[in-house]
Every structure is written in C-alpha cells, then in structure tokens.
Amino acid sequence: MTTSIDDFNETIHPPRRLFICSFLASVDEVEFAKLRDAAGISDSSLSKHLSSLASAGYVRILKPTGRGRARTWVALTADGRRAFEKHRRALEIILRS
C-alpha cells in the first residue's frame, strides 16, 4: 500500500477521534462504556465522535437486542481500518519531514 501525505484524514485526525480509532484498531470490538472510560470523555462526547466516524463509514455501532441490560458495542469497519492505517502512515511521513 503506497501512502503519501495526501492520505492525511481530517475526519480521523481530531485528537479524540484519533484515540478512538487507535483503540479500536487494537481490538475486534469494544463495549461503549469501556471505550468512553479509556478516552476519558462523556457519553455525549463519545456519541458525537462515533457519529462522525460512522457517517464516514469508519465505525459500526452494534446494539444487540436480547434479555438484560442493553449494551452498545463499537468496532472499526474494514474501511475504517484502512483509513486509520493510511492516516497513521501519513502522520509518520509528515513527522519524518
């Protein structure tokens, strides 16, 4: 995969979104509350960031139905993993310049 600074992704780059994508890149999926706690932000702030990432097709938000307390799960999509990796490489190029 060839990467250039043109792969810098303004949707992913804001610090909290960058953290969210980095965290999600290390797991298959994570429960909303765990991601919220790891990011150190409120439910509403995390929801807004996830909404932006979901609108770009980078994350999927899963709300399985069933018995008991409903939990929300979050995962990077395949497009999200590719976009995050390209952005990470673009940052490396920029930092080496």
Q: Write the pLDDT tens digit of every residue in 5-28.
A: 899 999 999 999 999 999 999 999
Q: Rounded to two decimals, what is the model's pTM? A: 0.90
Q: Which domain holds residue 88?
A: 5-96
The total domain count for the chain is 1
CATH assignment at residue 86: 1.10.10.10
- Alpha carbon separation from 38 to 22, 31, 33, 55 (Å, rounded): 11, 11, 9, 22
Residue 3 — very low, low, confident or very high, per pLDDT cuts 50/70/90? confident
* pLDDT at residue 70, as a whole number: 80
